[in-house]
A and B are shown apart, each in its own frame.
Chain A
Amino acid sequence: AQKVTQAQTEISVVEKEDVTLDCVYETRDTTYYLFWYKQPPSGELVFLIRRNSFDEQNEISGRYSWNFQKSTSSFNFTITASQVVDSAVYFCALSAPRGATNKLIFGTGTLLAVQP
């Protein structure tokens, strides 16, 4: 079975604080892909990152960084020096493409509120 768990339902921080959003996944597949999406109040989901199961290198993009650890089945997302514009719902997702399918399994999302 495939599953994505985002245990943090809501996080509230003050601007300029660092914040880490947790994501734990389950899959029996050896080849899989992990994603993070951002959903601002306007409603659309914005793609942030894709990581395949063979690449455990951490990634940094500006204030965003991702820590992928296969040993703990985690793919955590850290925002450094948070800003009010980072306020959104963040979804972690898993894809283990089989046959013709490419279904994404989403976590339940973490609502991040950054206070000024």
Chain B
Amino acid sequence: EADIYQTPRYLVIGTGKKITLECSQTMGHDKMYWYQQDPGMELHLIHYSYGVNSTEKGDLSSESTVSRIRTEHFPLTLESARPSHTSQYLCASSWGKNYGYTFGSGTRLTVV
């Protein structure tokens, strides 16, 4: 049973629409992350959070934004979707400094 949940699993949306990808975890982890994975498999960190009201941009520039109002919730928003945003988005969380990540199942986004 997953401890970190992402919805929707698949999303096809038109250009210019606003979308929010949901990510929730039930483990009480303080750190959460968003990765973008292109078809070439490589994972790119686009946002991370150390805790409530803390968000930072990752290594890959992204037009998306995130918020962390509650420990368990870390949604990602695209104000105006474009075809270049078509990708898989993976959410993850971790506890403390010395542990790996627990990943959600991902959202496969297609912008047409």
Contact = CB atoms under 8 A, between A and B. Distances in A.
Interface residues of A, number: 25
Contacts of A33: 98, 100
Interface of A: 33, 35, 37, 42-47, 50, 52, 89, 91, 93, 95, 97, 100-104, 106, 108-109, 111
Name the interface size band of chain B: 20 to 34
18 contacts: A37-B103, A42-B105, A43-B88, A43-B105, A43-B106, A44-B104, A44-B106, A45-B90, A50-B100, A102-B31, A102-B94, A102-B96, A102-B98, A104-B100, A106-B42, A108-B40, A109-B41, A109-B43
Contact of A47 (B43, B90, B98, B100): B100
A47 B92 CA distance: 11
Interface of B: 31, 33, 40-43, 45, 48, 50, 88, 90, 92, 94, 96-106, 108
Query: Most B CB atoms within 10 A — which of A47, A52, A100, A102?
Result: A102
A100 B103 CA distance: 20
Nearest to B106: A43
Given A97-B97, A100-B50, A102-B94, A45 B41 contact: no
Contacts of B33: 103
B100 A44 contact: no
Contact of B97 (A35, A47, A102): A102
Query: Most A CB atoms within 10 A — which of B33, B41, B42, B108?
Result: B41
Contacts of B45: 103
